[in-house]
Chains A and B, each alone.
Chain A
Amino acid sequence: MIRFENVSKALGGRMVLDGVDFTIERGETFVIVGTSGAGKSVTLKHMVRLMTPDEGHVHVGDETVSDAAGHRLERLRERFGYLFQGGALLAWLSVLENVALPLREKTDLGESEIVRRAEDVLRRVGLERDGHKRPSEISGGMQKRAGLARAIVRQPEIVLYDEPTSGLDPVTSRTIDDLIENLRRDLGVTGVVVTHDLHSALAIGSRIAMLHGGKIVELAAPDRFIRSERPEVRAFLDSQYITRRGAWERSLSS
């Protein structure tokens, strides 16, 4: 569904992506992990052409994103929902108005239908009682859930999640993980998750890719990922106290 073809990108003279190749299948949750500055968010931004590769191409279905412009890019982007790290909610609109915004601006739906759909997705993310509040009046976790509601309100085929659980407490992180998993299971949404949080990655990922030094050094399903012999992967797993025989292995096998 999404295909990176020998994509390279340099920022500030540093090679952030160096000939990256991978394919994301329809209906899977593809998780990209790596240390800070490894190029995870840069990879995500290439999928919606917020960034353009120096070399190579990014394809979504039969379309090439990396050279799309104008109405073609607009149509391509309508296939995506994007959850930004900070939620990226418009401060002067209420949570409900933020969620309803894509429907108001990009569809011909009537006002009552728009409100009904916005309330539906707010209920799905557990914010049905907070629709009237401004983004500044809700917590960081609630902002992320509101951002997620806005990302899915137009029922996109693909949702990109940029650090969906960073800075959140474990309970809220679990709620977000459940939401991502439910979207995949119930609606068949293809998800691409960028995260540092390996616990989350192992819980929701169909496959996990690790970016290191501008290259994908490991790409495997979670059960194989934690058994990887790659030193970069082992160091990353060890840093989060995940071992081959740790709790993760037991929970995955059960």
Chain B
Amino acid sequence: MITREPEYFPPPAGLLGRMGRWAMLSCRETGRATLLLLKALVCLRHIFGRRARRETVVDMYAYGIRSLGVITIVAVFTGMVLALNTGIALRDFNQEANVGTAVMVSMLREMGPFMTGLILAACVGSAMAAQLGTMTVSEEVAALEIMSIDPVRFLVMPRLAAMAVMTPLLSFYTCIMGVMGGGVVANLLLSVSWPNYMDNALRFAKNKDLFVGMLKAVVFGILITTVACHEGFSASKGAVGVGLATRKAVIVSFLLILFFGLLITGLFYY
């Protein structure tokens, strides 16, 4: 059951008591979020149903296409900053012609999925947590359960599918925009010609970099959705509770993106 009974805890005794409670509640919440994810993955077998298909396409548009504006701006500026910083450093060794490689590899491996993940956590994850939180406190989720409609299948599964598809696509788009932004800086400020920059960028980029970047993006998309849905379903105590759930969803998503980004990089490159 997604709908939970209200919980009350007596005030903990001392610092140790508070730490113990925090640790226990964190473990419990992690377990619940993991179970939610597993259940949503099992529900993916219903993805080709008429309603689920339509909901997923609508969500893909809402999460993906409507995030393009902010992603474009952030990606171009990220590429520019990367190119400028590495270009200035490389110029000391007369190696500024290699700035394309630095930008491309950084964007593919790390910055593309990372920036996309952060933007989606802030824009989409928060909206998702707020929507599900509002539905929870206004008893809409309980109403679904009473109608024997599984909220995980009805609400979480289409969102998970949409994010798992759109995050890598957006990440790839971020990489392209970042490399383009880096190219503008390389051309205008570092005197590296466009053909030189692109040749350098493409020559040293490996398929593995692209694969790892896309894998990270898929993982980030799944994490953002799971955290947002879990926090939304955990919301209580009206508007204040929805606000707290939204805030927590964004913070936890940011931390998980950092942790899993490091973990995947370590697994493939260490």
Contacts and interface: CB of A to CB of B under 8 A. Distances in A.
Sort A-B residue pairs by CB-CB distance and give the 10 closest, nearest first: A12-B8, A88-B143, A74-B148, A82-B146, A88-B139, A102-B147, A84-B139, A88-B140, A105-B149, A77-B148
Interface of A: 11-13, 48-52, 74-75, 77-78, 80, 82, 84-86, 88-91, 101-102, 104-106, 150
Interface in B130-161: 135, 138-140, 142-143, 145-149, 154
B5 A51 contact: yes
Contacts of B154: 105
B195 interface: no
Contacts of A89: 140
Contacts of B34: none
Interface string B47-59: 0000100000000
Nearest to B146: A82
B86 interface: no
Interface of B: 1, 3, 5-6, 8, 10, 51, 135, 138-140, 142-143, 145-149, 154
Nearest to A78: B148
Kindly name the residue among B5, B139, B146 whose own CB sees the greatest number of chain A CB atoms within 10 A.
Answer: B146
Contacts of B5: 11, 50-52
B146 A12 contact: no
Contacts of B10: 13
Given A86-B139, A88-B139, A90-B140, A50 B149 contact: no
A208 to B, nearest CB: 24
B6 A12 contact: yes
Nearest to B149: A105
A85 B139 contact: yes
6 contacts: A48-B146, A49-B1, A51-B5, A86-B139, A90-B135, A105-B147
B148 A50 contact: no
B7 to A, nearest CB: 9
B150 to A, nearest CB: 9
A11 B149 CA distance: 27
A50 B142 contact: yes
A104 B51 contact: yes
B95 to A, nearest CB: 54
Contacts of B51: 104-105
A23 B43 CA distance: 39
Contacts of A50: 1, 3, 5, 142, 145-146
| Most chain A Cβ neighbours within 10 Å, of B138, B139, B145, B147 | B147
Contacts of B147: 77, 101-102, 105-106, 150
B6 A102 contact: no
Contacts of A11: 5-6, 8
B182 to A, nearest CB: 40
A105 B145 CA distance: 12
A77 B148 CA distance: 7
B149 A88 contact: no
B140 A101 contact: no
A50 B142 CA distance: 8
B12 to A, nearest CB: 15
Contacts of B145: 50, 77
B222 to A, nearest CB: 23
A104 B54 CA distance: 14
